[in-house]
């Protein structure tokens, strides 16, 4: 029996930053998917991973990311990449969240983010909207707890906070690498490429009408 629905934020409630990465790459004559490829290289200990665990600050990330890019023959300041992260809010996903809440299910948000761009429930910033974050029963941020997806500990910590069994949870994310550990813990997973199919899949699993 499903008792909780857990969500990623960026790429689920907002449009994916990958389009912004691609536009930046075209504008700066970088190889296609260069930024995503760099982020996927040594994914647990590269500049991006350390930044999301708050092991380095923005200045440190700027230098470390640039060094990693330079090692592959290109100049990409880390600050430029941070500026590409904000996406457009998906109103239909917010509607689905509200209906899940109204049905009495628990909700949580597990988000990899960086210092200074946190998920404040009282105000908006470039990555999060306060009124949306306030809808979740719990929010776990990598930059605050020092653990990031796909580390299984962050999913287990959310289950502990919500007092639910992983087998009774659905988890939505736009990245397969983050869905894999959730599945291995027993969660039902939904990959979010576009919001509409994901919402329909979620509605079928919950036997709820989630579309506006």
- The per-residue pLDDT for 126 is 73
Domain-located, residue 190: yes
- The per-residue pLDDT for 86 is 82
- The per-residue pLDDT for 118 is 81
- pLDDT tens-digit map of 67-106: 999 999 999 999 999 988 888 999 999 999 999 999 999 9
- The per-residue pLDDT for 34 is 97
Looking at the structure, do residues 9 and 40 belong to the same domain, yes or no? no
**Count of the separate structural domains present in the chain:** 2
Measured CA distances, 192 to 18, 23, 196, 197 (Å)? 13, 21, 9, 8
Structure tokens that stand for 190 in this block: 């939904």
pTM: 0.90
- The per-residue pLDDT for 125 is 77
The 10 Å Cβ neighbour count of residue 152 is 15
Domain boundary among 82, 109, 131: 82
Domain-located, residue 180: yes
Residues of the chain with pLDDT under 50: none
- The per-residue pLDDT for 87 is 85
- Is residue 68 a contact partner of residue 47, using CB atoms and an 8 Å limit? yes
- The per-residue pLDDT for 205 is 97
Question: For residue 147, which phi and psi values (nearest 5 degrees)?
Answer: -130, 140
């Amino acid at each position: 029996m499903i008792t909780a629905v857990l969500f990623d934020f960026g790429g689920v409630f907002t449009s994916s930053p990958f389009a912004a990465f691609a536009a930046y790459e075209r504008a700066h004559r970088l190889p296609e998917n260069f930024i995503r490829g760099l982020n996927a290289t040594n994914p647990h200990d590269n500049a991006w991973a350390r930044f999301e665990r708050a092991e380095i600050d923005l200045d440190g990330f700027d230098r470390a990311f640039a060094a990693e890019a330079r090692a592959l023959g290109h100049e990409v300041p880390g600050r430029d990449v941070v500026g590409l992260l904000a996406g457009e809010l998906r109103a239909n996903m917010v509607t689905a969240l509200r209906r899940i809440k109204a049905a009495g299910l628990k909700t949580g948000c597990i988000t990899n983010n960086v210092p200074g761009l946190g998920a404040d429930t009282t105000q908006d910033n470039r990555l999060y909207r306060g009124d949306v974050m306030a809808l979740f029963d719990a929010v776990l941020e990598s930059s605050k707890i020092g653990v990031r997806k796909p580390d299984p500990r962050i999913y287990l910590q959310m289950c502990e906070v919500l007092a639910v069994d992983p087998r009774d949870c659905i988890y939505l994310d736009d990245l397969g690498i983050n869905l894999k550990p959730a599945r291995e813990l027993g969660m039902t997973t939904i990959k979010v490429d576009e919001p509409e199919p994901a919402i329909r899949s979620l509605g079928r699993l919950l036997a709820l009408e989630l579309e506006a």
